[in-house]
Structure 1
Amino acid sequence: MLLSFRSFSPEILGMQASSALAWLIVEVFAVLLSLYLVTVNTDLTTVDLVAFSGYKYVGMISGVLSGLLFGKTGYYIVLSWCCISIVFFMIRTLRLKILSEAAAEGVLVRGARNQLRMYLTMAIAAVQPLFMYWLTYHLVR
């Protein structure tokens, strides 16, 4: 029923860490490619994107720990809360970074290019909960 501490093995931990790292790298490169294709000139660096993408691991760990303590119900409640929080945080933070060029130039936010930037910001934020669930759902039974 619950993931017990007896089923722990270093091989599983290593595979989970490798998988999480690989998906983090894929996600950062996808965001960098998206920023390039949308031609966004921003002060976001690769390290910034790794940091922003890394925030989801706090929610993932919280969800798994609550799943260990309270079962599937606790896992889903905590993970849902963390997913809502990360989406809100990412939209608020990345919107300032991605749209900062337009705000500095004094361009209206209603332009097609700025709308595309906002869609990109929302897409980046929407992917976070998907990764959070996908990387942890099989850990809580």
Structure 2
Amino acid sequence: MSHVVAHTNIEVRYAETDQMGVVHHSNYIIWMEVGRTQLMKDLGFSYAEMEKSGILAPIIDVHVSYKKPLTYGEEATIQTWIEEYDGFKVVYGYVVLNKDGEIAVSGTTAHVCVKKETFRPVRLSKVFPDWHDAYERAKKKKDH
């Protein structure tokens, strides 16, 4: 397995648009979550199960670049992958494509795993070794 990319389709709902008739910028963060959840499923894991075991993975950093507007009724495709992973922090990469395959939005979110009760960081490799191994295999390979 190498550089896994999840594909998720979303039809833009009216409630996701703003006064200008385009998708409100905040919705892309939600769509990134949808893409991230799909990537985890594609790799055989469930964030809901992670939470049930007492581990959370909060976002510690978000970067979003808006390129082209999307409007009500359009279909968007979210591509999601693991941009970086070091056993402790994971950075997911995203592009949201319009129906013509043009990039509407690109971005990243960075996460660390923490214990639910204390919010103290934990290594994914220690709490979920199978998840860690899958992320190591699926992450984007650096060009040398």
Bigger radius of gyration among the two: 1
Q: Which has a greater percent of helix?
A: 1
Question: Which of the pair is proportionally richer in strand?
Answer: 2
Query: Structures share a fold, TM > 0.5?
Result: no
| TM score, norm. by length of structure 1 | 0.29
What TM-score, normalized by structure 2, do the two folds share?
A: 0.28
